[in-house]
Chains A and B, each alone.
Chain A
Amino acid sequence: MILQPLVLAATESTPHILFDPARNIFEIKGESRPENAKAFYDPVIDWVKNFCSGVKDDKLHPAKLIFVINFDYFSSSSAKYLMNIFARLEELHKNKIQVEAKWYYNEVDIAMKESGEEFKKLLTLPFSFELLRH
């Protein structure tokens, strides 16, 4: 399966995204409060959709996929799209592909950890939490 990596540089209001299957890196970092969440996230969701169907069709079993989420802030409209990504990764997990979400939060931002816990409640996808010191 040849799928170009998805590389989006961070801006003041949008996160850095790097989804690179060849290097097994899947990460989203920074601020996510795009002016138009749909316009920003639709291409990301499309990429994830293609990636997931490629993995399922090829019956590839890549090394454990770790999805790193390390937000400073994400808007509530971003949350809906994030959920969409998680749901697709959960499908892989249900297809016996090893996937884990690694949710980073700063020690001064307990709300960020709680947000991750809310996603965890909605999913069967394995979640782990990583504390960042301020």
Chain B
Amino acid sequence: MINPNNFTFDIHQKMRENNVLLAFTGEFDMKIINALITSVKLKLVEVEEAARIQKKVYNVMVDCLETIFHSYETAQRKNASYNSFSIFTLSRDAGFYYLISGNYIFNDTMEARKKQIDKINALNTDGKKALFRDYIVDDTIADQDSDLAMLNIAIKSGNVLGYEFKKVDANNSFYIFQVKIKIL
């Protein structure tokens, strides 16, 4: 086993090197989400001068956390053995804020998730907004709340949504979802 002191030090150093402003790993329930939202609100006031960017990061972050919450709610309904241990990080460099979430996903739902994100990424801003309007007037188009949240994230962030799947075993993969917000 890795020495826990070294491990903690390494994590701390890596977070500093990557300008991580906030990181949480564990199960995301509403209490945790509310606590994270409050922390980020305060943190952004401290690190970001532009109120417009603060608000943008805040809005996208809330959508990201909701997406994690809804996606594992849905997964748990399908299969009670779903592993809901997830991660969320907020970091920044000179040009962008990065909001990254990671959660387990069943391999048989991976293709649908890829298609969903690729479809959103292929649309321009007007196309995304038109699809959003379709979703809110017709309940049957969006499979679940996460479809709508994902689209909302793409509209608000104004950037392409990044994703990657890391295969864990025959049934599960770790799904990493990345949103970038440009610092003006």
Bound CA span A118–B137, Å: 11
How does the 8 Å CB contact mask read for A9-37 relative to B, with 1 for contact and 0 for none?
00011000000000000000000010101
Shortest Cβ distance from B49 into chain A, in angstroms? Answer: 12
Do residues A77 and B149 form an inter-chain contact, with CB atoms below 8 A? yes
CB of B56 within 8 Å of the partner chain: yes
Query: Is the contact region of chain B dominated by helix, strand, or loop, or is it mixed?
Result: helix
Do residues A12 and B34 form an inter-chain contact, with CB atoms below 8 A? yes
Interface size on B, residues (CB 8 A): 28
In the complex, which of the residues B56, B135, B149 contacts A111, with contact meaning CB atoms closer than 8 Å? B56
Known: A77-B145, A79-B148. A108 touches B66 (CB 8 A): no
CB of B58 within 8 Å of the partner chain: yes
Known: A75-B63, A77-B145. A118 touches B34 (CB 8 A): no
Do residues B133 and A121 form an inter-chain contact, with CB atoms below 8 A? yes
Question: Mind listing 30 A-B residue pairs with CB under 8 Å?
Answer: A13-B30, A33-B62, A33-B66, A35-B69, A37-B145, A73-B58, A75-B62, A75-B63, A76-B63, A76-B66, A76-B148, A76-B152, A77-B66, A77-B70, A77-B145, A77-B149, A79-B136, A79-B148, A83-B136, A83-B137, A106-B55, A108-B55, A109-B55, A109-B59, A110-B52, A111-B59, A118-B129, A122-B133, A122-B137, A134-B51
What 5 pairs between A and B have smallest CB-CB spacing?
A76-B148, A108-B51, A77-B145, A76-B152, A76-B149
Q: Give me the interface of B with A, judged by CB distance under 8 Å.
A: 30, 34, 51-52, 54-56, 58-59, 62-63, 66, 69-70, 129, 132-133, 135-137, 139, 145, 148-149, 151-152, 155-156
